[in-house]
Structure formats: structure tokens, C-alpha cells
Amino acid sequence: MGEILDRSLATLTSIQLPVYRGQYLLMQVWQSQISPNSWHPAPCSNFRRYPVAQPADAPYRDRVARIRDRDACPGALQVHQAADGALARVRLPGGVISPGQLEALAHAATKFGSPAMELTSRGNIQLRALTDTVGVAEIAAAAGLLPSQTHERVRNIVASPLSGRVGGMTDIRGLVAELDEAIQTEPALAELPGRFIFGVDDGRADVSGLAADAGAHFLYEATAALLLAGRDTGVRLDRADVVPALIAVATRFAATRGKAWRIAELTDTTPLLGQFTPSAEHGATWPPISRPPVGWLPQDDGRITLGAAVPLGVLQARVAEFLAAIGAPLAITPWRSVLVFDLDEGVADTALRVLAPLGLVFDGNSPWLSVSACTGSPGCEHSAADVRADAAAALDDPADGHRHFVGCDRACGSPPTGDVLVATGDGYRLRTPHP
């Protein structure tokens, strides 16, 4: 692996990319050469449906073509038809992805669509401008990214991505895998809305502020608080009861939700607790975190994690291939960044020198960490501006706090904190209240 990165570094010595706004412009040029209309919204709504053409003999044809009446949140099989073609979202519970899986998605993106892969605020990856959704599904399945056809859209788990490696109250990696397995084996959960999300916080309070629908926040190594919509219910769970409790809450929600998509939409969440009785003060919440862990992160075992912010959440397939070439475990975070784990210092140093010139951000003070944007024009027909270009331009005009640029009041991808700026066609206005 070191040789691969060293060769890559040698190749890159002649490439001096301009920084910040220039990086964004380079991305635009790169993408426009391949798919002129490839920057489009990340839909999770029920306002539009389109048929998707598939090859007649495709093994995933039935699943891909099965369209739910009301829940249009896309998956790897139930794709969304955007203006630039089909969009597929691949769930990564806990953001976990192996080098081979990332390489497979990069290959699928390059072969069947736009090479600009999008990282989502739930730690998933979506591919767009797809010309062969069955081909993408087959690649995802072969890489082990599609373990359940019936539950593929509901494997939504955000979890403390550094758990077990850097700090935290306890190591939750096994719990996340156990939860994912339990979700897939509960038939009733196939009917959960695609936007319902589970959360597991290892006690460092990094993901509980994201207000997952059903969450566990560890207070001690073997005791967790049960959260509903990010709020402490007062129920305390032994570690062994965490997964059964989260599954029970989700199952009750699926059975009783009516027209609610999220638990936060319910007026009374008490029935979701079932047999669980509060034993502590309820009502506590955790402040949302909006910045990813970036840079050189020493692990508890002496090895290194590299945290790489991805400008505007757009990860080019070519860059993903470099990440995969490291051959180390990876995670996509809810802050649209990438973590590369378990590196010795020499490999981490070489990887950093290769990846930084490719546009990944390892500086915690970078202004890229303070701006984000929806897809906007020309990708989204609803947008009043090229908001990604404007977000990049805003780097030249720093401001306090995070700024999220959107093309219309739907405010897609808005982070839980900071200013949401809505394009008017003649500038931007501050959106109030915050979505």
C-alpha cells in the first residue's frame, strides 16, 4: 500500500491545485466534462415520482421498479429519477465502509453515472446521473452493500464514528452491527419510512444532537439513555437491552405512525415506550455538532486516524479510489467527511501528502468546514441560483458560524445549526425559522 501511495505521490508532484474556491471550480470543470447536469438535489420527499427504465432480464428489475406510493426516499433499489438521470442512495450503517466497497461504488459511479459521488448528512453515499440502475445494484450487492432487498432503505444508523478508536465512553461498533442485523430481521421494519433514523452515541455527544428518531446515548460504559427524537425519555437501558429497545420503539412507530414520517412529528411519543419505564429525569437534549473531526487524530492504541473533510460533500470517484488504495477501514461521517482508521504513522503521513492535493481538507481551520450547500442550479429545477458556486465564493468573505446555501425554501440538507441562506434570484435571504 505504501508503494501505491508513494507512486501516487510522485504522480501528483506536478499537480498543484489551487485551493478553496479554485478546488470547487476544478470539480465543476471535471464534472461538466462527463455529465453536464450532474449536480442535483438529494431528494427525500414524496412530491415527485417517475418510472425507471430497466433491462428486461435484470435480476433486480422487480425490486428496482417497485415504487411505494408515498415514501419516495431513494435507496439502492428504489431510485429517484432526477433531471440528470436516476439517483441511488447506498446505506452505510454507522457510516462504515470497507476499502473494497468504496472502490466498488467509485467504479459504479464512473461506469454508470457521474463520478461525483455525494456524501449525505446521514453518512451514506449516493450516486447520480445513472444510466443503469440494475448494474449499480449488482455492483453494490456483490460488494456486500445490499444485504437486504426488503430493508435496504431503512438501515439508517448514525453512530459515533470514532468509537473504539479515539475516546468515547464505550466501544459501540459491535452494537451498531447488531442493530443493523436486527433491523433487517424484523419484517415489520420494512415498512418504516426511509427517513427514519437510529442513533447510537458512545457518550461523547457527537451524534445525539442530530436528533435521531430512536437513539441510545451511553451515560456509562454499560448504561445508556433511551432517546426519542433526540430527547432523553428518562428510560435507562443496560447495554444488552439497547438493540431490543430501539427495535421495539421503531416497530411501534411503524405500526402506529399514521401519516408521520418522523417521531418528532408525533404529538405524544409516550406509547412508543411500551413496557419501558422512565427511572430518571427526562427531557435532556444534546447540542448538535456541525463540524467533522479532521486532521491527524491519534488513536487510543497508538495508531492514527486521518479525518478528511470533503468540500460541499462531493467525493470524486478518482479521489475515492485513492482512499480505497490505502487499504484501511473507512467511515463516512454525518458531517459529510471521511475517516481513515488504524494507520501507522508512516502510512498516515504518506496518505495525507497524497490526499490533500486532491482536494480533501485536513485543516480544522479551513473555511470549507463552515460552508455547505444544497445542489441548486443547474442541477435542481427548483433553484434560484448556483448555490454551490455561491457557497464556494463565500469562502472569500468569511463570516461567524456555519452558512448553508440553498436554492429554495425546501432547504435540503440544512445542518442543525448555523444560518440557512435562501437564494432569491437577486441574492440571499436568511431563512427563519431554521428548518
If binding is defined by CB under 6 A, does position 382 make contact with ligand SF4?
Answer: yes
Provide φ and ψ at 33, rounded to 5°: -70, -20
Is the Cα torsion angle 68, 72, 74, 80 positive or negative in sign?
A: positive
Nearer to ligand SF4, 41 or 209 (CB): 41
Conformation bin of residue 199: beta by default, left when phi > 0, alpha when psi is -120 to 50 = beta
Conformation bin of residue 401: beta by default, left when phi > 0, alpha when psi is -120 to 50 = left
- Sheet with 231-238: list strands edge to edge: 157-159, 198-201, 214-220, 223-228, 231-238
Within positions 30 to 59, which residues make up the interface with ligand SF4, using CB under 6 A?
41
If binding is defined by CB under 6 A, does position 290 make contact with ligand SF4?
Answer: no
If binding is defined by CB under 6 A, does position 134 make contact with ligand SF4?
Answer: no
Query: Which of helix, strand or coil describes residue 331?
Result: strand
Concatenate the DSSP letters of all residues of 359-398 into one string. T-B--TT-GGGGEEE---TTT-TT-SS-HHHHHHHGGGS-
The residue within the footprint of ligand SF4, chosen from 161, 407, 415, 418 (CB under 6 A), is 407
Q: Shortest approach of ligand SF4 to residue 323 CB, angstroms? A: 26
If binding is defined by CB under 6 A, does position 412 make contact with ligand SF4?
Answer: yes
If binding is defined by CB under 6 A, does position 375 make contact with ligand SF4?
Answer: yes
CB atoms within 10 A of CB 203: 21
Strand partners for 305: 297
- Interface stretch with ligand SF4, choices 108-116, 269-277, 285-293, 410-418 (CB under 6 A): 410-418
If binding is defined by CB under 6 A, does position 374 make contact with ligand SF4?
Answer: yes
Q: Shortest approach of ligand SF4 to residue 265 CB, angstroms? A: 20
Chain residue at closest Cβ approach to ligand SF4: 407
Distance in angstroms (rounded) separating the CA atoms of residues 418 and 329: 31
- Interface stretch with ligand SF4, choices 17-25, 118-126, 283-291, 378-386 (CB under 6 A): 378-386
The residue within the footprint of ligand SF4, chosen from 338, 380, 389, 395 (CB under 6 A), is 380
- Interface stretch with ligand SF4, choices 124-132, 134-142, 329-337, 404-412 (CB under 6 A): 404-412
If binding is defined by CB under 6 A, does position 312 make contact with ligand SF4?
Answer: no
The answer to whether residues 193 and 262 touch, using CB atoms and an 8 Å cutoff, is yes
Query: Which of helix, strand or coil describes residue 128?
Result: strand
Distance in angstroms (rounded) separating the CA atoms of residues 332 and 145: 14
Q: Shortest approach of ligand SF4 to residue 42 CB, angstroms? A: 7
Per-residue binding string, ligand SF4, 327-366, x by CB under 6 A, is ----------------------------------------
CA-angle at 190, arms to 196 and 211, nearest 5°:
10
Q: Shortest approach of ligand SF4 to residue 380 CB, angstroms? A: 3
If binding is defined by CB under 6 A, does position 121 make contact with ligand SF4?
Answer: no
Q: Under the rule (CB under 6 A), what is the footprint of ligand SF4?
A: 41, 374-376, 380, 382-383, 406-408, 410-412
